[in-house]
């Protein structure tokens, strides 16, 4: 017998955005919210200890998705996504960077009214308490407490000196008005422990009578009455449960989970859905398209002279944001310094060393997410089409050369055990390295694109086109991926979504 739970709102996914939406919707006691999560709560040291995050990949708190083999790299790539309360915010590297103001102005120019930088800045500010920043840009009373590392690793200090010697400016706050430069960037580490929207937003809200959390719930499908979404069917510890939404269902399952649930519920490209054995209910061609991710290169590791000081922080406390070529309107490279070896499984690493993690933040390549089968437990097919566009490869080659130049400066002389083999290599050799070094940055986005054209999935109020009672609010709605790590922008999306659900078009002062 199916158990039924009835609430005003059903929010799918207790990840970065879902925790924000659920907490904000229940602040005034006027609504009831059910927050549905496939994973379990986990506040153990394996999650809360900042430098142990790489060990979470492939465990029970990771969906452990994988791509199809990528044509340009020859590899199948791991796509880590958090499967626990807090979502990927409970398993990621804790960097907290918003993106370039121009990212959001570009969204608005593409028809996403109300998503320009001036309109979303109040939501960024609302989310945080950041007394170290300019109050015109930074918040003073929000739940999150982003801040630079309290005590930089010695090699992190060296990297900032080296970047400056190589001609890159130092920037005090990359979440302020200027994105370019090297900085000790904000991290979601508070009092030595990981902070996420689960700890900052959800945990303080769980005592409210209008908020219920349903963990270990695998959503099978959304349910509809005509064109209205009425709720969802799930399985919780082997028991069927129907979650009925009196007002709306909000998908916050991420750029993989949200389109996957839409597709297996019959919402998406009709012919493609039916070939997978699912009955098409609403033809929406854009679902699963426009899939984007940032690439980070692994293996650009320089051998050190011997053992290094113990790791600190999140292993990557400092970063450089720059242009792959002069005159760009938006930064497209991020070189994060990682004070330990960092490689793909198929790469060799020195026993002791430090790594320049070259990230490409403005990919031209676009992929697709499609159904593998009608089985709700079967993962989707993920084809990010990494390096599909030649300009992505060119940008990463430029990034490698910038990183090698920084690594050869005098501040690293005391640490460097040997030159990296790519020093002095020609473009062909660097291109070969790049193709082999590709790794997902874990920043999937764009697969339920916001917009007003025929291939968009949601409108600027995050309502799914052609349906009622259903919205999407997570990184999947980004028309173009932001030019930094996606977590902070996803928090902003959750904040703005909560206002839209409450009938507010703009943040109230």
The answer to the question of residue 194 being in a domain is yes
Please report the pLDDT score of residue 41 as a whole number: 95
Contact present, 195 and 145 (Cβ < 8 Å)? yes
Provide the total of helices (H) and of strands (E) in the chain, helices listed first.
Answer: 12, 22
pLDDT band for 381, please (50, 70, 90 cuts).
very high
The answer to the question of residue 508 being in a domain is no
443 is catalytic: yes
Is pLDDT at 509 greater than 80 in this prediction?
no
Helix (H, G, I), strand (E, B) or coil at 267: strand
pLDDT band for 39, please (50, 70, 90 cuts).
very high
Neighbours of 470 (CB within 10 A): 26
Running DSSP on this structure, what letter comes out for residue 476? G
Q: How far apart are CA 353 and CA 504, in angstroms?
A: 51
Running DSSP on this structure, what letter comes out for residue 209? T
36 phi/psi in degrees, rounded to 5? -100, 125
Task: Choose, from 260, 443, 461, 465, the residue flagged as catalytic.
Answer: 443
The answer to the question of residue 273 being in a domain is yes
The answer to the question of residue 507 being in a domain is no
Please report the pLDDT score of residue 508 as a whole number: 66
Contact present, 266 and 315 (Cβ < 8 Å)? no
pLDDT band for 330, please (50, 70, 90 cuts).
confident
Please report the pLDDT score of residue 177 as a whole number: 86
The answer to the question of residue 369 being in a domain is yes
Q: pLDDT (tens digit, 9 = 90+) per residue, 151-191?
A: 999 999 999 999 999 999 999 999 998 889 999 999 999 99
The answer to the question of residue 316 being in a domain is yes
* Beta strand ranges found along 198-271 (DSSP E): 211-214, 217-225, 228-236, 239-251, 267-268
Closest C-alpha to 465, from 475, 473, 474, 453: 453
Is pLDDT at 288 greater than 60 in this prediction?
yes
Q: pLDDT (tens digit, 9 = 90+) per residue, 408-460?
A: 999 999 999 999 999 999 999 999 999 999 999 999 999 999 999 999 999 99
The answer for residues whose C-beta is within 8 angstroms of residue 320's C-beta and 6 or more apart is 163, 168, 181, 182, 183, 334, 335, 336, 337, 402, 406
Q: pLDDT (tens digit, 9 = 90+) per residue, 49-81?
A: 999 999 999 999 999 999 999 999 999 999 999
CA 271 to chain CA mean position, Å: 30
Alpha-helix runs per DSSP H in 50-153? 101-109, 117-126
Is pLDDT at 322 greater than 90 in this prediction?
yes
Neighbours of 101 (CB within 10 A): 19
Which residue has tokens 């930064």?
331
The answer to the question of residue 506 being in a domain is no
pLDDT band for 274, please (50, 70, 90 cuts).
very high
The total domain count for the chain is 1
Mean pLDDT of the chain: 96
Residue numbers of the domain that contains 296 = 3-501
Closest C-alpha to 117, from 137, 97, 132, 135: 137
The answer to the question of residue 146 being in a domain is yes
pTM value surpassing 0.85? yes
Helices 101-109 and 117-126, interaxial angle, to 10°? Answer: 130
Q: How far apart are CA 158 and CA 429, in angstroms?
A: 28
Is pLDDT at 492 greater than 90 in this prediction?
yes
Return the CATH number at 459.
3.50.50.60
């Amino acid at each position: 017998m199916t158990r039924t739970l009835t609430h005003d709102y059903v929010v799918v996914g207790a990840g970065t955005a879902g925790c924000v939406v659920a907490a904000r919707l229940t602040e005034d006691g006027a609504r009831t919210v059910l927050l549905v999560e496939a994973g379990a709560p986990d506040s153990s040291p394996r999650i809360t200890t900042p430098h142990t995050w790489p060990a979470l990949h492939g465990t029970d708190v990771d969906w452990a998705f994988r791509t199809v083999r990528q044509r340009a790299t020859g590899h199948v790539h791991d796509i880590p996504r958090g499967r626990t309360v807090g979502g990927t915010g409970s398993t990621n590297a804790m960097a907290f960077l918003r993106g370039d103001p121009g990212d959001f102005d570009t969204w608005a120019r593409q028809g996403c009214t109300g998503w320009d930088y001036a309109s979303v800045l109040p939501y960024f500010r609302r989310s945080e308490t950041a007394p170290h920043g300019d109050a015109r840009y930074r918040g003073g009373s929000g739940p999150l407490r982003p801040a630079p590392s309290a005590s930089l690793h010695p090699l992190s200090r060296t990297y900032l000196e080296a970047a400056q010697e190589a001609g890159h400016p130092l920037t005090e706050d990359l979440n302020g008005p200027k994105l370019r430069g090297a900085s000790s960037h904000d991290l979601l580490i508070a009092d030595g422990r990981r902070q996420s929207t689960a700890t900052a937003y959800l945990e303080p809200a769980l005592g409210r009578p209008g908020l219920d959390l349903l963990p270990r719930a695998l959503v099978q499908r959304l349910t509809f009455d005509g064109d209205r979404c009425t709720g969802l069917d799930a399985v919780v510890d082997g028991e069927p449960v129907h979650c009925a939404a009196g007002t709306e269902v909000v998908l916050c399952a991420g750029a993989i989970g949200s389109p996957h649930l839409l597709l297996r519920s019959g919402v998406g490209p009709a012919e493609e859905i039916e070939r997978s054995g699912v009955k098409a209910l609403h033809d929406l061609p854009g679902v699963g398209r426009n899939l984007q991710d940032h690439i980070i290169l692994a293996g650009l590791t320089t051998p050190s002279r011997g053992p290094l000081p113990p790791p600190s922080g999140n292993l990557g406390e400092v970063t450089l944001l720059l242009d792959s070529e002069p005159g760009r309107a938006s930064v497209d490279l991020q070189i994060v310094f990682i004070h330990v070896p960092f490689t793909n499984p198929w790469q060799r690493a020195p026993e002791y060393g430090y790594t320049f993690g070259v990230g490409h933040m403005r990919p031209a390549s676009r992929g697709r997410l499609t159904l593998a089968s009608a089985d709700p437990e079967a993962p989707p097919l993920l084809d990010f089409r990494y390096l599909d566009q030649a300009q992505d490869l060119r940008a990463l080659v430029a990034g490698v050369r910038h990183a090698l130049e920084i690594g050869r400066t005098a501040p690293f002389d005391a640490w460097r055990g040997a030159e990296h083999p790519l020093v002095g290599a020609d473009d062909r050799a660097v291109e070969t390295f790049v193709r082999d070094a590709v790794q997902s940055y874990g920043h999937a986005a764009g697969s339920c694109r916001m917009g007003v054209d025929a291939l968009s999935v949601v409108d600027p109020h995050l309502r799914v086109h052609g349906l009622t009672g259903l919205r999407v609010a997570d990184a999947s709605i980004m028309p173009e991926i932001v030019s930094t790590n996606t977590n902070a922008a996803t928090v902003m999306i959750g904040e703005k979504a909560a206002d839209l659900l409450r009938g507010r078009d703009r943040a109230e002062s």
